[in-house]
Amino acid sequence: AMLAPGGRPLAGRHALVTAGPTHEPIDPVRYIANRSSGKQGYAIAAALAALGARVTLVSGPVMLPDPPGVTAVRVESAREMLAACEAALPADIAVMAAAVADWRVAREATQKLKKEPGAAAPVLEMALNPDILATLSRHAQRPGLVVGFAAETEKVVQHATEKRLRKGCDWIVANDVSGDVMGGERNTVHLVTAEGVEDWPELPKSEVAERLARRIAEAMA
Ligand code: CTP
Ligand code: CA
């Protein structure tokens, strides 16, 4: 159904959004991170709030101000992000735009690693992080509409279609990150649903967010 412009079609709905990178500690002064700026996720949180939703934004470390009208929860690691998401349930809508680190350092050192004279460089053993999107998609309190992102550098739609089934989410926003998307202002995405694939034109991240929020409002109507 088409929505009247200017309405608040998501009034009374709770939307959970993740954004930004995660930081995975090595020792008290070092961490592993990625290039996510958080811009796309923050824009989605703002766009859902503009349509009337109550929005909880669980954000990794980013240089962005909290969007107006949004409850922001700041976290660092993937495990903290999962805990904050579960604490925010129940939600009607979940949009997982965070670039969650796939791995963390298996044993975080409690003291700063020291460069002993003559010693070899340390080898970091990694452990698999929890998958927040897959966990929420199979959660006892699963949100009614779960939307994931897929950052891909090749075979974008094919990988995203496989990811949608593997993770158990409803939609995947497939994102071609082979260019300067990470940190940039524009995004080219494909919306993968059970019904098929919508190719969206290259748009500013703010317009990708507004279009996705409207699409979500239509699906919830
Ligand atoms: N995601 C998540 N928790 C993780 C890893 C990813 O919630 N530990 C979410 C992301 O927020 C995104 C989706 O899963 O919505 C896909 O992330 P992506 O990195 O593209 O997929 P992966 O399954 O991690 O596969 P790969 O990185 O190998 O492509
Ligand atoms: Ca990943």
pLDDT digits (tens, 9 = 90+) for 181-208: 677 788 899 999 999 999 999 999 999 9
Query: CB within 8 A of 210, min separation 6: which ones?
Result: 43, 47, 50
pLDDT for the residue numbered 1: 53
Model confidence at 179: pLDDT above 80 = no
ipTM of the complex, rounded to two decimals: 0.98
Q: pLDDT tens digits for 125-152? A: 999 999 999 999 999 999 999 999 998 9
Number of the ligand closest to the Cα of 175: 1
pLDDT for the residue numbered 151: 87
Q: How far apart are CA 129 and CA 147, in angstroms?
A: 20
* Mutation probe of ligand 1 site: the residue of 34, 129, 149, 181 with most atoms within 8 A of C-beta: 149
Model confidence at 98: pLDDT above 60 = yes
Residue 131 CA to ligand 2 centre (angstroms): 9
Mean pLDDT, the chain, rounded, equals: 95
From the alpha carbon of 149, which atom of ligand 1 is closest? 15
176 confidence band (pLDDT: 50, 70, 90)? confident
Q: How far is CA 54 from CA 46, 61, 70, 216, in A?
A: 10, 22, 7, 14
**Please, which residues have CB less than 5 A from ligand 2, an ion?**
102
